[in-house]
Amino acid sequence: MSVSGHLARRGTRRIWALAVTGILASAALTACSSASGETQLTWYINPDSGGQAKVAANCSTDKYKIATQVLPQDANEQRIQLARRLAAHDSGIDIMSIDPPFTAEFSNAGFLAPIPQSLQDKLTQQSFKGATAAATWNGHMVVAPFWSNTQVLWYRKSFAQKAGIDMSQPVTWDQIIDAAAKNGGKVAIQSNKYEGYVVWINALISGAGGEIATDTQKGLDMKLEINSPAGDKAAAVIRKLAHSSAAPADMSVAQEGQAGSTFGGPQGAFMVNWTYIYNSYESITPGFNKDIGYALYPQTVQGQQARPPYGGIGLGVSKYSNHVDDAMQAVECLTSPENQEVNAEITGNMPASQAGYAANNNALQKTYPAPLLQLFQQSLDEAAPRTVTPYWSDISGGLQATWHPPADVSSSTPATSQTFIDNVLHGRSLL
């Protein structure tokens, strides 16, 4: 009797403890969302050096506060985390930073809340053409271009002088590979088995007047055009560099950072890399930037305009957010030219609009020479975004599987890769 009485008492106590815990927990949860009737908008950002956190603070109002949550470093991991949460209708995401190649995939899956027409018009008007193209799926702008990145050709002035190559005129890949090989220099590129390698392949194909795929509205039945004269020319450039003495020793594993080190090293001659790389030398080797020259991205075919890569971030609003209207308003503020400039100053990720470059009294010109800013803008207008399709990750994975390592690229690679990607898209091959 006494034992059962004791047990009963223990049971009651446990129920009380549970109830108290529950009440405390729910109180803590409500405290998160509304301390003073203020909404909290959660913005999932890609890791950066504080630019997005700063503009989030700039755009927080009395009505809502924008809090940031950091996504993984790797772009594909960012995509996985966001897509899995969105597929489960997670209302904890309000705004998210989305890499351009995954924009169409998210939109096609119905994860993104439609952007009001007035905001679409405003964004289209302010953004670079490349930025608008990368943010558009099915005729609608589905994410708001926030920052836009492009690659230019960086060269060591001393090396170009030694090699006697005229950098005031557009140069071709053949020219820089030959110049580097003859004079003991290296051409630094990104060709590890990752998305950055596909960025290079896409730029080479686009530079030869081609495209990786067309008719993307047909979904899986899009027209792949890798096996084309443009694809052959791209393969020829990669093969030439990989088998030349101008190839860096770590070519098969080189990403942006490794390419930057090669360029900064004793054999550094040429490099294609994103805009932010300009800021990474001066702090380590003062005076180094005096030797850095920059020019338009190299041409794949002599005389044919180069199509530099396009990168960046677009802001999307989750369809499953409980605060879609507030989030749209926040996105409008976050992507204003002024905030694009603030972000660019902190992170080196350049604005997605011309107005952003001039915003806040040309503040960017304090960090970057005016001709370089000019070059960035020109490159962005000529940039070729990666094919906008919901199936980009299959295409990219297929290209990585068949074009890596660069030394194994041959004249048959474009045809092999096209067949393989087609099989992957139609579920006939494993990727």
106 or 147: CB nearest other proteins? 106
Please report whether residue 390 would count as binding other proteins according to CB under 8 A. Answer: yes
Residue nearer to other proteins on the CB measure, 83 or 346: 83
Q: In the complex with other proteins, which residue's Cβ is closer, 304 or 429?
A: 429
Give CA separation, 427 vs 101, 214, 356, 400, 421, in Å: 21, 20, 44, 18, 10
Binding part of the chain for other proteins, among 79-87, 157-165, 209-217, 333-341 by CB under 8 A, reads: 79-87
Number of residues counted as binding other proteins (CB under 8 A): 23
What whole-number distance in Å separates Cα of residue 249 and Cα of residue 233? 23
Task: Return the DSSP state at 280.
Answer: G
Which part of the chain contacts other proteins (CB under 8 A), choosing from 7-15, 101-109, 322-330, 362-370? 101-109
Question: Taking a C-beta distance cutoff of 8 angstroms, is the pair 393, 101 a contact?
Answer: yes
Choose, by CB under 8 A, the member of 52, 97, 393, 413 that binds other proteins.
393
Q: Which of residues 146-205 bind other proteins (CB under 8 A)?
A: 193
Q: Does 76 bind other proteins (CB under 8 A)?
A: yes
Q: Per DSSP, what are the bridge partners of residue 148?
A: 312
CB 283 within 8 A of CB 153: no
Q: What DSSP string runs through 81-135? A: HHHHHHHTT-TT--EEEE-GGGHHHHHHTT-BPPPPHHHHHHHHHHB-HHHHHHH
Contact between 338 and other proteins (CB under 8 A)?
Answer: no
Kindly tell me which residue out of 72, 87, 215, 374 binds other proteins, with binding defined by CB under 8 A. 87
Q: Tell which one of 109, 116, 229, 243 touches other proteins (CB under 8 A).
A: 109
Alpha-carbon dihedral angle through residues 410, 257, 277, 286, given to the nearest 10 degrees: -130
Neighbours of 3 (CB within 10 A): 7
x/- map, 219-258, other proteins, by CB under 8 A: xx--------------------------------------
- Is residue 35 part of the contact set for other proteins (CB under 8 A)? no
Helix (H, G, I), strand (E, B) or coil at 314: strand
Q: Is 407 among the residues that bind other proteins (CB under 8 A)?
A: no
What are the structure tokens assigned to 424, written together? 């992957």
Compute the distance between CA of residue 402 and CA of residue 241 in angstroms, rounded to an integer. Answer: 17
From first CA to last CA, the distance across the chain in angstroms is 67
Short-list 218, 272, 245, 136, CA closest to 425 = 218
Q: Which of 337, 397, 406, 414 binds other proteins (CB under 8 A)?
A: 397
- Indicate which single residue of 183, 346, 394, 415 sits in contact with other proteins (rule: CB under 8 A): 394
**Smaller CB separation from other proteins, 354 or 423:** 423
- At 101, list the tokens: 């190649």
Closest CB to other proteins among residues 353, 396: 396
With respect to other proteins, which residue has the nearer C-beta, 51 or 390?
390
Nearer to other proteins, 204 or 242 (CB): 242
Give me the residues paired with residue 318 across strands.
112
In the complex with other proteins, the residue whose CB is nearer, 70 or 83, is 83
Smallest distance from the beta carbon of 94 to other proteins, in angstroms?
Answer: 20
- Contact footprint for other proteins (CB under 8 A): 76, 80, 83-84, 87, 105-106, 108-111, 193, 219-220, 390, 393-394, 397, 427-431
